[in-house]
Amino acid sequence: MILMASATQKSANELDHLLIQRLETGMGKVLGRLSAEKKRKILKSADTPELLYSILKLMPVSIEDAEKVEDAANAVRFRQRMLKAAGGALKAEDVRQLLGYKSVQAVYKAANNRRMLVVEDGGVKLFPKFQFAGGVLNPAIADVLGAAPNTSGWAILQFLVSGDEGLGKASPIALLRKGPAEAERVARFARALEA
């Protein structure tokens, strides 16, 4: 508790340093419990989430802990699949450059005002690429976001990627590109996300 209380008074750089120290200490203990063979398996991981998942998966833990790790890994993979289906994602600085905004704050303001879809992943705000074409933001995105003002970005992205039976076989993302009439249909179905 003392660390938590003092953490609120520290700068971001100091907090980063403290977190890195704790991670290094914790990972040192975890890696010390793993065999050389398990460490070789871990090193084959493709990216950071997979690396961390590999470490946790190979570490001896209780069944309850293993289920939590598996659930977290499934959630990460699900988010990655959604972003891939949405054409990937951009960070705020990339969006600023693409749209010619004067600042990153202007990008965040557009997202906060529900004019642009944003999802948060591990503390990083990501902007699904499908909503941008030819250096402009598709205005229909604001209609969809406005139709579901209390729905999270991830839930809206899931709807846009997965679709709705009532929209037929066409994906909502494809329909948003077809023009105002189809975009209005997508927005009407997005209202059901609020129920």
Q: pLDDT digits over 68-124, tens only?
A: 777 877 888 899 999 999 999 999 999 999 999 999 999 999 999 999 999 998 789
| Residue 109 backbone dihedrals phi, psi, to 5 degrees | -65, -45
CA distance 127 to 111: 9
CA distance 29 to 43: 17
Averaged pLDDT, 29-56: 71
Query: CA 20: distance to chain centroid?
Result: 22
Element (H, E) at 135: none
pLDDT of residue 182: 92
Q: Please, what's the b/e burial string for 17-39 (b: 16 or more CB within 10 A of its CB; e: otherwise)?
A: eeeeeeeeeeeeeeeeebeeebe
Per-residue pLDDT band for 170 (boundaries 50, 70, 90) equals confident
pLDDT of residue 40: 80
pTM: 0.69
DSSP state letters, 3-63:
HHHHHTTS-HHHHHHHHHHHHHHHHHHHHHTS-HHHHHHHHT--SHHHHHHHHHHHS---H
Summarised one tens digit per residue, pLDDT across range 121-169 is: 878 999 999 999 999 999 999 999 999 999 999 999 999 999 888 888 8
Summarised one tens digit per residue, pLDDT across range 1-38 is: 444 445 556 677 777 777 777 777 777 776 777 778 87
